[in-house]
Amino acid sequence: MRFNNKNKIPSKYILLALTILCLLLIGVSYAFEDILTPLRYITGVTITPMQRGVNVVGEWVGDKLDLLADIQTLQAENEELRKQLEEYQTENRIQISDTNELDDLRELYELDSRYPNYEKVAANVISKDAGNWFDTFIIDKGTNVGIQEGCNVIAGNGLVGIVVEAGPNYAKVRSIIDDNSNVSAMFLTDPTLCNVLGDEKYMDEGYIRAEYIDKDAEVSEGDELITSNVSDKFLPGITIGYVSNLTLDSNNLTMSADVTPAVDFDHIQTVLVILELKQNVEEE
């Protein structure tokens, strides 16, 4: 089907007509300027405030859109900073953990060198009984590496306790602060014997208790307390702690002492277990 283009007005005629119309309007504007002046005034009075209001609204909307864009940018930056902070905190925790582990290993190495005659194995604490102190706890080594009931356990600068139960890959340790613990001890400067009794109420004040010390013993504050030769379970010469305070008992025959322990019983992570038993060493 073909359209009939005979009635279509050429574009040049339309352009010519619009040009003539514009010229006529210009002419009318000059010819009737006095009449159109009030109209222009009314238009200015009504349109200009509206235009100003539109501009104000437009600026307000623009400001809000800019603010929203800024907030979104800040939120994105904040999220990125949060992720970086979490990464830094994770790295910091790893570094602290590595540093603590290195300190523990260095401490164990120094402790191992203090008792070179005994075969030992290092172990990690994996659980403990409820409470603030490590009075009884579990380590991650057992009979598979030679640990057995009666093995002495050391950490820090001295004696921790003794193994009271052992399985293939675990062992239970009772420390010298436990209420059921009783260690035969002596002073490094004086062979006088005494007993170190477990009592957690003293640990709340930072001490362990040594009792039945001969009143004539040449003992003073700061003296080192070690395991004695007559102990049936503990190997001799292992540091227990240091005398902090001496008091004469009510019987006037013996003394008691507050002893600062050689081990921090509030924080124990790694230990050394001496594989030789006291009775085996005596038999040798």
Q: What is the pLDDT of residues 79-126, one digit of tens each?
A: 888 877 777 766 666 555 545 555 666 777 788 888 888 899 999 999
Predicted confidence (pLDDT) at residue 53 exceeds the cutoff of 60: yes
The more confidently predicted of residues 59 and 184 is 184
Residue 247 CB partners (closer than 8 Å, separation 6+): 255, 256, 257
Which residue type does 204 have?
A: D
148-197 pLDDT, tens digit per residue, is 999 999 998 899 999 999 999 999 999 999 888 899 999 998 888 999 98
Rounded to the nearest 10 degrees, how much is the dihedral formed by the CA atoms of 232, 238, 244, 247? 20
Average predicted confidence (pLDDT) for the chain: 81
pLDDT at 64: 73
* pTM across the whole model: 0.64
Within 10 Å of residue 240's Cβ, how many Cβ atoms? Answer: 25
Whole-Å CA distances, 229 to 136, 204, 235, 238, 279: 25, 29, 7, 10, 12
- pLDDT bracket for residue 146 (50, 70, 90): very high
Predicted confidence (pLDDT) at residue 145 exceeds the cutoff of 70: yes
Two structure tokens written together for 170:
């675990």
The more confidently predicted of residues 32 and 219 is 219
What is the residue whose two structure tokens read 């790694």? 270
Within 10 Å of residue 175's Cβ, how many Cβ atoms? Answer: 25
